[in-house]
């Protein structure tokens, strides 16, 4: 399976795959190994500030599209806050595979 086929499978299963990051994005800015670049991407994309910004943006654009909310923002923030460390652990395990 090539990258495009893998992305198609993920998209068909509900995942957003139109904005993926690659080690070359980091390596274009720093002299580093692929593993170091993966570490930078992991920390950059799973830190609390990034996660908060993504949830904020989802909320803003959902409202702009006049979508009916399921939960209020406070519930969403509470969920993210309560599960952030678990999300990081899962992402770390996936990174090792």
Alpha-carbon gap, residue 51 to 15, rounded angstroms:
16
| Torsional sign, CA 77, 83, 23, 30 | positive
pLDDT in tens, the chain (97 residues): 999 999 999 999 999 999 999 999 999 999 999 999 999 999 999 999 999 999 999 999 999 999 988 866 677 777 777 877 877 777 777 777 5
Alpha-carbon gap, residue 17 to 11, rounded angstroms:
6
Alpha-carbon gap, residue 35 to 33, rounded angstroms:
5
Alpha-carbon gap, residue 50 to 17, rounded angstroms:
17
Global pTM value: 0.65
């Amino acid at each position: 399976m090539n990258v495009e086929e893998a992305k198609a499978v993920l998209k068909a299963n509900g995942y957003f795959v139109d904005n993926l990051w690659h080690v070359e994005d980091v390596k274009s800015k720093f002299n580093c190994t692929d593993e170091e670049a993966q570490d930078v991407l992991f920390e950059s994309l799973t830190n609390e500030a990034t996660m908060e910004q993504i949830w904020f943006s989802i909320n803003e654009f959902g409202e702009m599209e006049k979508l009916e909310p399921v939960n209020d923002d406070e519930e969403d923030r509470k969920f993210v806050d309560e599960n952030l460390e678990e999300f990081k652990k899962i992402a770390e395990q996936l990174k090792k595979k």
